[in-house]
Chain A
Amino acid sequence: MILPVSNFNNRVNFTDDKKAKKKELPYDCDTLLKNNFKNRALITYDKFTNALSLYTAKGLKGDKNANFYEFLTMGSIPYVIGSLMMMSVFNSANKFFEPIARSKAGAVGRKMALGVLFYGILKAATKPLVTAPVKWLTGVDVEIPYAKFIYELPDSVDDTDITSIEYHKVFESKEFSRWDLLYKSEAKGEKRNEYYDNIAKKLGYGENLNDSDQEMKPVIKKIATKTDMAKTLSSYLWAAAGVAYAFQNSWQDYFNVATLKFWKFGKFKHSLKVFKNTAIKCAKEFYNGPSGATGWSKYAGKFMIGTAALSTVLGVLNAVSVKKASEKTPKDVIDKDRKYVVN
């Protein structure tokens, strides 16, 4: 069945049902967004709620508009469920054990749960350790998001609700980065190549280049690729260090008083205080090794932190070390007198 597809933004709702709500989309074309906390939070919220509801529904129905973006977005579901499940596997059965086994299994189980938590937190929280310095040193923000405006296939001839929004990142694909979104509008009196000019200036390629965009694109691509790699690797190493940190014995001090019942204000406040003290104590224990440790176990903590920190630093250094214009070899420069043949 071939259905009519309109390739303009069809926001006219042909219905006489006054109650039917018109779908309001925040964007009507692909739009570059500011990489700020509010946008990031909104995007995360939008993606996660859609993964749980709309994308799941479409997926289970086998909807013809289900796409790779939705599949990837649903990839957050196993992370969340898996984390909760992991905590449960090590804790849920313990209450049936006799007291000594219960307390022993509980101690391990709680550390495991904390480990899962720290894994997630550190994995997410350490990414800016790479991306922020790279942005600061080169002007390239690999995390810059944009809203993609999508037309879907209609389900039937009456289906007019065929648009939706996806959230992507400009440098999500290094092969097909959305360079177009980075140009400014001359119609609005802005400088077309402003973004590229800024980066050229920061990287020492000079100011007022004729075609800063063409010159900077391969450089930016390199920086983005290297940054993504450093971000990925170092975040896993930090996450690993987080799990190791959660396995320090002194956390027991906190578990003894831990409560999430924030309405019992006194107890909750006390538990937060103990958490702070325990966290410091455990950090020391993690760094120095358990008391009386020798050999490997004494240095394992330092090694974990060291590796993670090193991967971050080396990653950033690698990402920002791109050739300056003056260092370009003749091979990189197009010789305007030569004819080039694609083979």
Chain B
Amino acid sequence: MRPNLIQTYLNNMPQVPPDKKDRNLDIEYVLSNRTFIKPLPSKGHLINRGILSAPAAVAKNIAYDTKSFVKAARGKANDYEAGKVNDIGMKLGGLMIAGYLMTRKQAPLAKAMEFVGLASFFAAMSIWPKIALQWPAQLVHGFNIRQKYEDSFGREKLFFQDPQYLAWSLFSDQKINKIGDWMGVPKDMNNRRDFIQEKMKKTAIQNNTMWMWTAGFATPVLSALICNACEKPITNLIGKHRAKKADNMLLDLNNASVKFKDTAALDELEEFIAENKDKKLNSDLVKKIKANLTKGFDGVTAQAISDDLDDILGLNNKKYHVDYMTLENITANTRKALETLVTPAQADRFLPDTDSLQNLLKDDFLNKELSETDVKKLLGVVGAKIRRNVRSYNSSIDFGKVDERRVIDRLFNLKMADNPIAKAIKPSSKLSDSLVETLRSTANVLTEFKARNAVLDEYIYLKAAAAPQTVLANAWNDFTHALPKLFNISQKEIAETRFDRKLTGELLRNKIEKIVASDTEYDALVRAIVEKIKVFDRSPAMSENYINAVNSVFERFPNVLQEKGLSMPNTVNRINGNFGSLKNVQKDFGANRVLGIRSSLYRLLNTLDFYKRIADAGKISDEYIAALHSGMPKAVKEEIVEFAKKLSISGTTSDYITKFFELRNPKLNSDDKNQIKSVAGKVEYKFLGENVPGGKVDIPQDKMFFHEIMKLLYENKMHPHTVDIVSNSGSALVDELAEYRRTFINEIGNAEYFFKPHHTTGAINKNTKSYRQFLLVGLAPDQMLNMTTKSIYNTRKWLKMFGGFGAGLLGVTVLSQFFFGKMKLPGGQKND
């Protein structure tokens, strides 16, 4: 930037009165020789920046802003530079808000969207005047109303921002005339340039005003629309990133586990050791050590570790120590125990005092390391002595004898923990050097295992947890959001049914019945769904890599223990055992998540297939609906088909587990045994709608109802079209679908229900688990669709409201261009 000449001159103006000779100044001479005040040539120019130079301009702006900031802080900024501080402040404030809100969000998408929101807001602020005003004005009036120019001091400004100060000299005659031609200004008029300039100025003022009035409406809407558009790509991006992150973690498990290592716990252990080294292992210290080593483990595992620690710390095989102090305690304890039985004088007669105890025990027990057996022996020796003493005491007197049995009871016939003598004998375990080493290496092994296990947890979380933006959740959202389009459901239908799952279910049923009536529509739908389900195959939460990693982490644990010469049988069994071990839990979590989702997808496919088989009854071989066999009355067939249709769309686990509850006709027509008849996807019911005298009832003793429905839905052959499409899809889906149907029959069809004992499809399966049944039934199609339509409706409703508003605003703003810049020619004619 060059110095402001006037300002410099004013600041440095000599403050002294002119010399005398200056008073005789020859002004003519000075004026004709004024070389030093000649203005420098202007460096101002219009800026026409292409998209390519934008990054360079951004860099230049950042540099300029920084410089302005520093100058303003020193109080030396000019007005233009001081203005830049406002831009900096606005962006800084925005970043602070986005950063803060990010810390309050859990999901990575939500975190990212805070910054997207901020960026979109600034983007909307600068995009709106471009698309709504600048570009239309360029087309209508032939010039850029938001033309920028750089003045001689390198300051970039909007040309038309101050209509009272327009640097017209920056526009060449040629340029102005060209704009005039576009505007249709007569070529031969006087002062044509002035007229065109006035017209441009007027247009620009009008546009600036329009900008101020529309920006407030447009920016929030446009910003929200941008965010909306960004959400999906960003979700995909995050999903891919997270999937990759998870895969990389498994590839380099050692490195990944470093992050999860709980060094704080190890440090804490070192603190205990430093504080308590060579001290006796009292219960408090043991508790602390156990708490430290079991930190981060579940209760069952913690108990196993704790049990193993008892062994390691020698608590199960205690050593005891007896010294003179112990003997004093024994003396005191025994007297106290007999307080209510004998007088102190009596006690002194037959209870040994400390010295006689010392004599008694000095050879075999005193100051020696004793095992628990030794302590018991000691009790025997002392007991015999007391017994002898009591007898001799009793024989020495005639009156006031002591009850020997009761004395012995009080002193010896007690649990070890309550025994007054044993109580005085303290365990001798110390936190010795060797014990410290063992504890250290145990802690290291456990910490390392925890860290490696944490990597597995993180992996399976990223891939399969019921949390936003996990791989599985993304794939699921992708699938469900495609449903309304696949089933041709309109926004109006969504609006009518979204409040009620039942309404959604009815809508879905009608849609499916319409689709299955046509082979081409059915094929297209199934093909689309199979393509979507295939994606799930490609993003498996239960990859072989993961299973291998789980095995390696859990099987490594006993090996490392062995290497270090440690033995923790309880812990090893809990972590790497066969039944209910942590290893199996780790595998099951992912497997169950996947099972639940796959069941929901297969169920939808199975439902479609069933509807198609019913729709084609008569057209295709009866083996596809073999459950509706020829001996079955048509009325029953109708009941079965109708129930199966409802069940497959909205049935829940409890419907299956309670073996169905349905109000049926108890006295139905059994003469007509024809096959059911379908027209245009729907079954033409002959008996079902009939009025039943006395009303319909549930028939709990009819096990065939359950039996045949299960067979019809899950055992009869699938429709040839379905089989064709699925087997041509080039995935393992064909086997998986068959496996799903088989498992369904086996674990739900054959499950036992106490109140309806014979309602099974085959032999009773007693090994069913309720959570498996829940996962196998999956999400009902009507509920799946209902959840989706609710969220789709909300988004679409919002888009319709504000998208419509935005479009309207844009239209009005663009149209307004045609009313701008109207001026009368000097002669009074109009010039548009």
Contact = CB atoms under 8 A, between A and B. Distances in A.
A168 interface: no
Interface in A13-53: none
A244 B794 contact: no
Interface string B1-36: 000110111011111100000000000000000001
A239 B92 CA distance: 11
A207 interface: no
A235 B89 contact: yes
Interface in A79-128: 79-86, 88-89, 92-93, 96-98, 101, 105
Contacts of B205: 59, 62-63, 66
Interface stretch (B74-82, B477-485, B742-750): B74-82
Q: For chain B, what secondary structure do more than half of its interface residues adopt (helix, strand, loop), or is it mixed?
A: helix
A233 B85 contact: yes
Nearest to B224: A89
Given A175-B78, A304-B100, A82 B216 contact: yes
A136 interface: no
A265 interface: no
Contact of B212 (A78, A174, A318): A78
Interface in B554-606: none
Among B75, B78, B79, B206, max chain A CB count under 10 A is at: B75
Contacts of B215: 78, 81-82
Contacts of A225: 72, 75-77, 82
B213 A77 contact: yes
A81 B215 CA distance: 8
Contacts of B100: 240, 243-244, 247, 300-301, 304
B209 interface: yes
Interface in B77-124: 77-79, 82, 85-86, 88-90, 92-94, 96-97, 99-101, 103-104
Interface in A54-78: 55-56, 59-64, 66-68, 71, 74-75, 77-78
Contacts of A222: 74-76
B259 interface: no
B219 A78 contact: yes
Given A62-B821, A174-B82, A68 B161 contact: yes
A290 interface: yes
Contacts of B316: none
Contacts of A61: 206
Contacts of A342: 5, 8-9, 12, 36-37
B798 interface: yes
Nearest to B498: A98
A62 B820 contact: yes
Contacts of B36: 341-343
B215 to A, nearest CB: 4
Contact of B92 (A56, A81, A233): A233
B802 interface: yes
Contacts of A79: 216
B278 to A, nearest CB: 37
Contacts of B212: 59, 71, 74-75, 77-78
13 contacts: A62-B203, A64-B163, A64-B202, A74-B209, A78-B212, A82-B219, A225-B76, A226-B74, A229-B72, A240-B94, A334-B12, A342-B9, A342-B12
Q: Which 3 A-B pairs have the closest CB atoms?
A: A81-B216, A59-B209, A222-B75
Interface of A: 1, 55-56, 59-64, 66-68, 71, 74-75, 77-86, 88-89, 92-93, 96-98, 101, 105, 173-175, 218, 221-226, 228-229, 232-233, 235-237, 239-241, 243-244, 247, 290, 296-297, 300-301, 304, 307, 318-319, 322, 334, 336, 339-343
Given A74-B209, A85-B221, A105-B794, 13 more contacts: A71-B162, A81-B217, A85-B216, A85-B219, A89-B224, A92-B801, A93-B794, A218-B11, A222-B75, A228-B85, A229-B72, A237-B93, A296-B103
Interface of B: 4-5, 7-9, 11-16, 36-37, 69, 72-79, 82, 85-86, 88-90, 92-94, 96-97, 99-101, 103-104, 161-165, 198, 201-203, 205-206, 208-210, 212-213, 215-217, 219-221, 224, 498-499, 790-791, 793-794, 797-798, 801-802, 820-821, 826
